[in-house]
């Protein structure tokens, strides 16, 4: 009986599927018939009315026909849009002999990345020329050509205005704006925020696998009008590969010097209306161990004894990035978990000095450094009709952090203290024994928080005479909770003096609610003049106050010709003071509870031109930024205030050549400080940020046929000098306090290269970094200039199943 029931059910389901497919095929056949006799509007109307109900099999056919219809109507933007959707649905699509040459050329350009469609700038598909802000698009091929190991490497190499800075974690600056961690740039995964709600930070290091990335869309300017908090200076949206593009299983493993090991798994598939992509990445490296003796340039500390440091170490607990997304019809589910911990070269509490990293105990599974573990969960629903589009999204983010900071190996008598507060639990037997906090002193601040929220937005598209456009509007709700936290202190490298308890809290355990509304109008006239304006209102109910921010954006674009465009834009953005500052209970950081949001006003003038016959693309951008309310920490008073400001102007140029076997790109940035107050500026130059930066990236395809592929690649990075002031009373060499407020780091030229070879499904590559073995330093928020890795390499092998 059960078997009979199963057979009958299967027959009914098969008939239903066949009936649905038959209906879909009939719709596409009718549309194709209208296209053949020149009734392009009828074909477009028929397909767009039914596009949301088509199966995955016939959707590709519909996108193909829509692109052809719009091409015949001389609407190149819509033709490119649907051609992009066609390739997204079927990455292996190839034009037929019956297709127009214009369509074949468009498909080839889209596949090679010469013509691209993005969604981050306006929350809708558009070309780079239509984006309201300057955009850097980093394609999958560009990632391969770079040889980059981390997201930070990619951004610094390809994005004008973005530079590496040193801090307690992996960090980058955009147009000279940064803090101790990366908390001024919004980083997203398929539109899902990755930045912490406690600290606003997201480290662009090995916690993000590069293997899963299809492309990275970088908005080089403020974007709070759409994304609200954190989108102060830029937005980085990581777009993952589709299941159709992966279409199988790829496994890779890597090994390098300094005990470096890496492994990646990427899997993807698509069938009927179901599609999924999954990935897992792990990375571990001791980092370059540098032995340092008193008298060496890297030596700092009150006790004149030799020591060592690890540079770019990610060890004892490997970094990882594990996740997947699954899509069924209009529903999509995303899960991602990440972790990373970078070794800090110097102790950063009490005194800046070398320390014996390997002697310190593990706390919460990790040795000294800042560890951040995250879980990102999202369920979304998107529906497309003829003129309307709907998006609903609900999400949960869970975070566990542990800041394991070393005070020092040897604490002299005049600097010894027991970092305790009223009510804290102290090991009485240790205190009674004396010799407390005299050596191997460390402090661990840890917390757990979670956030849940939802977003609802809709887009209405319209067209009347020579005008066409879209109106987007939506709302977002979010609730953040600091679940629990504790402060633990110990000495003698592995002894615990202050134990973990409810009394040892360092951050208030409160909740905050976030409610916002946003709208955007995009309208074009005769496809030459484009207006894009957006406005967002954010209302944040803090635990002790209310924050209200209004973020407008205006952009005017003039498409001079099909090859060139000019855009002028203004935007206002903000980043709220991190909860970590505002809710601190540590008495040494006063003023945090009164902090307001940092704000930026930016004006940009951008010009782009395609020299089609020369295969050249040119992008020029002039910007002016005014940063106000910047959080300033006065170490002499241990006080936080919103008293910092910065005004800068800059020039960005990008020139790209892409033809046949060659790919070359040169990007250059120059910026100048107009004025500043309580900001990290020395002689009109931002601390840790060079005034001038030049990158040259090149790739030559040596072999390319059905079985073999071989590429040679290299990049050269040029940086001018930078200031790295040393001006704190906690920096010593022996008994001498080091004070050099105009300390300079020399300019440098760094050369990297690599080679990869692929035979059918097997690929091997090796990349060489800092080939000239340059001994150089990088400044930033860490107070001391930090040495960088000398020559190092990473070899990888991969196989596709």
At 365 the pLDDT is 85
- pLDDT over 50 (residue 13): no
As a whole number, the mean pLDDT across the chain is: 88
Q: Is residue 790 predicted with pLDDT exceeding 50?
A: yes
Q: What share of the chain is helix, strand, coil (3-state, %, to 5)?
A: 20, 50, 30
Q: Write out pLDDT tens, residues 729-743.
A: 888 888 888 889 999
- pLDDT interval class at 11 (50, 70, 90): very low
Q: Measured between alpha carbons, how far is 92 from 108 in angstroms, rounded to an integer?
A: 11
Who contacts 572 (Cβ-Cβ below 8 Å, separation ≥6)?
Answer: 222, 224, 225, 550, 551, 552, 553, 599, 600, 601, 602
Query: Ramachandran region of residue 370, left (φ > 0), alpha (ψ -120 to 50) or beta?
Result: beta
Output the six-digit token pair for 161.
């205005």
Q: Which percentage of the chain shows pLDDT scores above 90?
A: 61
- Is the pTM value of this prediction over 0.85? yes
What DSSP element (H or E) covers 353? none
pLDDT at 613: 85
pLDDT of residue 649: 97
pLDDT tens digits, one per residue of 123-157: 877 888 888 999 999 999 999 999 999 999 999 99
Residue 589 has pLDDT above 80, yes or no: no
| Higher-confidence position of 316 and 254 | 254
pLDDT, residue 130, reads 85
More confidently predicted of 491 and 602? 602
Higher pLDDT, 159 or 97: 159
pLDDT value at residue 474:
96
Least confident range from 60-64, 283-287, 329-333, 633-637: namely: 633-637
The larger pLDDT score, comparing residue 225 to residue 26, is at: 225
| Cβ atoms within 10 Å, residue 331 | 13
pLDDT band with cut points at 50, 70 and 90 for residue 49:
confident
pLDDT tier for residue 38 given thresholds of 50, 70 and 90: confident
Q: Strands, DSSP E only, in 492-636?
A: 495-498, 511-525, 529-541, 546-558, 564-575, 598-611, 616-634
pLDDT (tens digit per residue) in 544-569: 999 999 999 999 999 998 889 999 99
**pLDDT value for 463:** 86
Weakest-pLDDT range from 3-7, 126-130, 198-202, 599-603: 3-7
Residues 6+ apart with CB under 8 A from 732: 300, 301, 302, 351, 352, 353, 738
Q: What is the pLDDT of residues 177-223, one digit of tens each?
A: 999 899 999 999 999 999 999 999 999 999 999 999 999 999 999 99
The pLDDT of residue 17: 38
CA distance 241 to 327: 13
Dihedral, 159, 161, 164, 169 alpha carbons, nearest 10: -90
Q: Which residues pair with 528 in a beta bridge?
A: none
């Amino acid at each position: 009986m059960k078997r009979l029931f199963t057979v009958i059910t299967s027959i009914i389901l098969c008939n239903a599927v066949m009936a649905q497919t038959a209906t879909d095929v009939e719709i596409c056949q009718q549309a194709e018939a209208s296209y053949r006799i020149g009734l392009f509007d009828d074909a477009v109307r028929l397909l767009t009315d039914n596009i949301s109900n088509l199966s995955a099999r016939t959707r590709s056919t519909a996108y193909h026909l829509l692109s052809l219809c719009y091409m015949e109507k001389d609407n190149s933007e819509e033709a490119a849009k649907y051609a992009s959707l066609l390739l997204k649905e079927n990455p292996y699509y190839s034009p037929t002999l019956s297709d127009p040459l214009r369509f074949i050329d468009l498909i080839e350009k889209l596949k090679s990345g010469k013509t691209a469609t993005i969604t981050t700038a306006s929350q809708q598909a558009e070309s780079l020329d239509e984006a309201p802000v300057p955009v850097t698009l980093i394609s999958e091929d560009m990632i391969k050509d770079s040889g980059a190991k981390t997201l930070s490497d990619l951004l610094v190499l390809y994005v004008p205005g973005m530079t590496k800075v040193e801090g307690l974690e992996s960090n980058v600056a955009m147009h000279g704006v940064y803090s101790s961690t990366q908390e001024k740039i919004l980083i997203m995964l398929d539109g899902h925020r990755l930045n912490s709600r406690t600290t606003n930070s997201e480290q662009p290091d090995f916690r993000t696998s590069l293997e899963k990335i299809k492309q990275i869309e970088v908005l080089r300017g403020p974007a709070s009008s759409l994304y609200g908090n954190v989108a102060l200076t830029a937005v980085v949206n990581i777009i993952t590969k589709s299941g159709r593009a992966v279409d199988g299983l790829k496994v890779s493993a890597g090994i390098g010097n300094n005990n470096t090991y890496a492994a990646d798994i990427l899997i993807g598939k698509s069938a009927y209306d179901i599609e999924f992509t999954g990935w897992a990445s792990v990375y571990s490296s001791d980092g370059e161990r540098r032995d340092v003796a008193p008298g060496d340039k890297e030596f700092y500390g009150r006790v004149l004894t030799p020591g060592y440091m690890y540079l770019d170490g990610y060890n004892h607990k490997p970094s990882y990035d594990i996740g997947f997304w699954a899509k069924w019809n209009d529903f999509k589910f995303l899960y991602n978990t990440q972790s990373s911990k970078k070794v800090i070269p110097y102790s950063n509490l009490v005194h800046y000095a070398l320390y014996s990293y390997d002697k310190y105990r593990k706390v919460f599974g990790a040795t000294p450094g800042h560890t951040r573990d995250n879980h990102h969960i999202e369920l979304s629903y998107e529906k497309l009709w003829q003129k309307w589009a709907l998006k609903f999204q609900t999400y949960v983010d869970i975070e566990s952090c542990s800041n394991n900071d070393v005070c020092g190996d040897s604490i002299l008598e005049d600097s010894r203290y027991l970092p305790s507060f009223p009510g804290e639990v102290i090991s009485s037997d240790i205190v009674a024994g004396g010799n407390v906090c005299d050596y191997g002193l460390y402090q661990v601040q840890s917390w757990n928080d979670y956030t849940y929220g939802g977003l609802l937005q809709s887009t209405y598209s319209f067209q009347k005479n020579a005008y066409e456009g879209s109106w987007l509007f939506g709302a977002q709700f979010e609730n953040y909770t600091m679940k629990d936290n504790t402060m633990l202190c110990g000495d003698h490298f592995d002894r615990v003096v202050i134990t973990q308890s409810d009394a040892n809290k360092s951050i208030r355990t409160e909740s905050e609610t976030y409610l916002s509304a946003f709208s955007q109008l995009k309208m074009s006239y005769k496809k030459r003049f484009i207006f894009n304006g957006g406005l967002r209102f954010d209302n944040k109910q803090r635990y002790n106050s209310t924050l209200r921010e209004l973020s407008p954006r205006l952009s005017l674009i003039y498409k001079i010709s099909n090859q060139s465009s000019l855009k002028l834009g203004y935007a206002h953005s903000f980043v709220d003071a991190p909860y970590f500052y505002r809710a601190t209970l540590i008495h040494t950081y006063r003023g945090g509870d009164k902090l307001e949001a940092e704000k930026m006003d930016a004006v940009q003038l951008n010009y782009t031109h395609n020299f089609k016959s020369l295969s050249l693309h040119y992008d020029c951008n002039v910007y002016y930024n005014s940063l106000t309310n910047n959080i300033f920490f006065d170490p002499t008073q241990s006080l936080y205030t919103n008293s910092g400001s910065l005004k800068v102007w800059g020039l960005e140029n990008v020139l790209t050549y892409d033809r046949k076997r060659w790919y070359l790109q040169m990007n250059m940035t120059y910026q100048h400080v107009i004025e500043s107050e309580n900001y990290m500026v020395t002689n009109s130059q931002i601390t840790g940020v060079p005034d001038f930066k030049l990158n040259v990236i090149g790739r030559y395809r040596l072999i390319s046929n059905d079985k073999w592929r071989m590429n040679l690649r290299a990049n050269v990075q040029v940086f001018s000098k930078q200031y790295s002031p040393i001006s704190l009373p906690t920096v010593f060499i022996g008994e001498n306090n080091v004070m050099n407020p105009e300390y300079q780091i020399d300019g440098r030229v760094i050369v990297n290269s690599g080679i990869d070879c692929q035979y059918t499904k097997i690929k091997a590559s090796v990349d060489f970094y800092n080939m000239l073995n340059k001994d150089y330093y990088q400044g930033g928020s860490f107070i001391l200039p930090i040495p960088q890795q000398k020559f190092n390499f990473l070899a990888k092998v991969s196989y596709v199943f």
